Amino acid sequence: MEAIGDILVLPFYGQGHLFPCMELCKKFTSFNFKVTLIIPSHLSSSIPPHLRHHSLIQVVEISATSTPPPLHKAVELPALPPKQKGHGFMHGPFSHHHQQLGQGIDTFLSERRNGSGQTRPICAAVDVMMSWSKEIFLKYEIPFVSFFTSGACAAAMEFAAWKNHADEVKPGEIRILPGLPESMALSYSDIKRNRHGPGHHRGGGPNRQNEPSGPPGGVEDGPPKPGQKPRWLDEVEGSIALLINTCHDLEGPFIDYVANQIEKPLWGVGPLLPETYWKSTSSVLHDHEVRSNRQSNFTEEKVMQWLNSKPQGSVIYVSFGSEVGPSLVEYAQLADALEASNHPFIWVIQAGSGRPGPPPVLFGDDQQEEGYYPNVLDERIGNKGLIIRGWAPQLLILSHPSTGGFLSHCGWNSTMEAIGRGIPILAWPIRGDQFHDAKLVANYLKMGHMILLSDDPGEMVKKDDIVQGIDKMMKDEGVHKQAMALRSIFQSDYPESSMCSLKSFIQLISK
């Protein structure tokens, strides 16, 4: 049976964006569409063999090296409209990555158009963090769809904060946001933390004087502050639809709120997790079966053996992902807290942890960074803890019966993976959208708690805050019961509401 047409998919740099885009590709092929996944070449090792061998998926790799091109060879891209400037990360120290990638996309589309027997793609699904590229697709008359790899809560809260003048909230005031759950009302503390919220980098908490802020592309003002117009409104301008990596069962009120505010079709098509995730809800997942392993000091087998040696529900899993994390000083507080805690733990530490700026590997630079590492901690704790440097088999850890809690920055992929396995979350948000996800977990879904965060954005998280947070989460039977109740959403299969949304989207682009 001949494929219906071709859909292009363009993720942002980094695995947190690539993984849901790969799953979106597979969803599209289930409707008999061909899919072309366009990636920077340095992400090549993150593409698992089963995706490369898929009969309906083509992976196109484009060089976007970490070395800036010579000035006399600067790439000229279509000019962005005035309202677009400052958005989409086309300015700043990392703009050369986008320049190179943009030139490669333009060349690929030009050669494709001139090739024999090639039809124009039906549409391009573009990560909103790559919104600068939409001018290139429109140049070739390819409609584009904005894809949010994050959830609906952050988008809804940003819009509601802007619409309801959150920047005017006074001390002691609680501001209800009409159209959203009362549990998500904004307090003065919320505003204080978000107003000076750190940008998209690893050393993203307080005590970071003279450190750059903002997203990897170098946009100076970073995530929107409460009361400001959400940047995603500009990023989705011109798109024919919005796809969000979530489902109605989890975020119904937030999906509906955003849909009511914009004049575009919007669908929740997630959670976009590996197919084996849905088929193994009662067994331990093995990451190597669905994701390419990266450098690590422990194999999956070693991690499995260590977990097997611990009592059920006793282990606290600690991971902040590859792009954001606490400061160097806070990492030291975390080390002290884990040593003082009565719970066994797995702690994942990425290269360059605690250092400012996006990790070089995000843009394909393999240079090793000196970051925080608790050199003497592993000697003192013995078998109580497992300290993983680099890549960790997160799906395995979250699905293992010994894991009882997750200390997380509340990145969206990690949040969904934990919910799907009934693991309560202790939220330690680092930058803008993670504060909304943390509030969703603690206040709306009620399947976790937040680390005690001061109203003063310059005050760091301390050892006692972490110890108390861990104890509270691990001993709270209510959040454990609620986490297991939410797990039932994912017990059978990919959510029916999301499949209906995908069908509606396919009908739109097939007209």
Phi-psi domain of 277 (left: phi exceeds 0; alpha: psi -120 through 50; beta: other): alpha
Summary count for the chain: helices (H), strands (E): 18, 15
pLDDT band for 364, please (50, 70, 90 cuts).
low
Give 444's DSSP letter.
I
**Predicted local distance difference test score (pLDDT) of residue 207:** 39
Task: Note whether residue 46 is domain-resident.
Answer: no
Does 384 score more than 90 pLDDT? yes
Task: Note whether residue 254 is domain-resident.
Answer: no
Model confidence, pTM: 0.88
The DSSP annotation for 63-120 comes to ---SSPPPGGGPPP-PPPPGGGTTSTT-SSTTHHHHHHHHHHHHHHHHHHHHSTTPPP
**Predicted local distance difference test score (pLDDT) of residue 295:** 77
Task: Note whether residue 197 is domain-resident.
Answer: no
**Predicted local distance difference test score (pLDDT) of residue 454:** 67
Mean pLDDT (the chain) is 84
What percentage of the chain reaches a pLDDT higher than 70? 81
**Strand-pair category, 186-187 with 174-175:** antiparallel
Task: Tell me the residue range of the domain where 331 lies.
Answer: 280-489
Task: Note whether residue 82 is domain-resident.
Answer: no
Rounded Cα gap, residues 327 and 460, in angstroms? 8
Task: Note whether residue 481 is domain-resident.
Answer: yes
* Phi, psi dihedral angles at 402 (to 5 degrees): -75, -20
pLDDT band for 407, please (50, 70, 90 cuts).
very high
Number of structural domains (the chain) is 1
- Centre a 10 Å sphere on the Cβ of residue 394 and count the other Cβ atoms it contains: 21
pLDDT digits (tens, 9 = 90+) for 234-291: 999 999 999 999 999 999 999 999 999 998 999 999 999 988 888 776 788 887 766 6
pLDDT band for 197, please (50, 70, 90 cuts).
very low
pLDDT band for 491, please (50, 70, 90 cuts).
confident
Judge whether 269 and 24 are in contact, CB under 8 Å.
yes
CATH of the domain at 333: 3.40.50.2000
Task: Note whether residue 320 is domain-resident.
Answer: yes
**Predicted local distance difference test score (pLDDT) of residue 119:** 84
Task: Note whether residue 134 is domain-resident.
Answer: no
Which residues partner with 10 through β-bridges? 126
Burial of residue 111, with CB atoms counted within 10 A of its CB: 0-12 exposed, 13-18 middle, 19 or more buried: exposed
CA torsion angle 78 149 370 98 (round to 10): -10
